[in-house]
Chain A
Amino acid sequence: DAGVIQSPRHEVTEMGQEVTLRCKPISGHNSLFWYRQTMMRGLELLIYFNNNVPIDDSGMPEDRFSAKMPNASFSTLKIQPSEPRDSAVYFCASSITGFQPQHFGDGTRLSIL
């Protein structure tokens, strides 16, 4: 079975540019999560979808961040405009329901210069 697929694996871009991260969850999973991981703050939840509907976006740092889930098999996380402090590894995860074990993709390592 294919796991959670994220793209790109690495992204290097200049400050001010728009960045779009993509995620394909595991088929049949109803919950999708976007996380950001840094050495200082660990793994932080940014936003959580259930059945394609955003449930909790309180972790989104500011208005520069937005996330969409147009259908059950695709989600995007967008940063516009990007800033150097956004540099981190961004993970997408999915689960059957919110309380079940989560399956993570291998992340996108984002560097904003």
Chain B
Amino acid sequence: SQKIEQNSEALNIQEGKTATLTCNYTNYSPAYLQWYRQDPGRGPVFLLLIRENEKEKRKERLKVTFDTTLKQSLFHITASQPADSATYLCATDQTGANNLFFGTGTRLTVIP
């Protein structure tokens, strides 16, 4: 069955460092992948979308890569700040379905 995994439940890093979050998928080939940020008590907020034919996408301090050979996406936050502390969710389209399939998220804490 189709499966999407975010390897780390939680990640702590020092302010100023680059945070790298991982999203792996198995048993399917999504056409695109999205990353969302979720703060406590709030709904997820869309950050970036990358398509299968794109290797990399950037937005300010954020960078996403999509490796269809490794079946993996990496999400980077450079020059991390305490305000970046949140849970980050990856999501892909599902084969034969017109909706998103979410990972369980990685809780990032940036330590001042």
Taking beta carbons and an 8 Å cutoff, which residues of A are in contact with B? 4, 31, 33, 35, 41-43, 45, 48, 50, 55-56, 91, 93, 97-99, 101-107
Contacts and interface: CB of A to CB of B under 8 A. Distances in A.
A45 B98 contact: no
A93 B98 contact: no
B98 A48 contact: yes
B46 A99 contact: no
B42 interface: yes
Interface residues of B, number: 21
Interface in B33-89: 34, 41-46, 49, 89
Nearest to B35: A101
Given A55-B98, A104-B44, A99 B93 contact: yes
A98 B49 CA distance: 14
Contact of A102 (B41, B42, B46, B97): B46
Contact of B99 (A42, A48, A101, A103): A48
A43 B102 contact: yes
B49 A101 contact: yes
Contacts of A4: 43
A45 B99 contact: yes
In order of increasing CB-CB distance, the 7 nearest A-B pairs are A104-B43, A98-B98, A42-B104, A101-B46, A43-B102, A48-B99, A104-B44
Contacts of B89: 43
Contacts of A45: 99-102
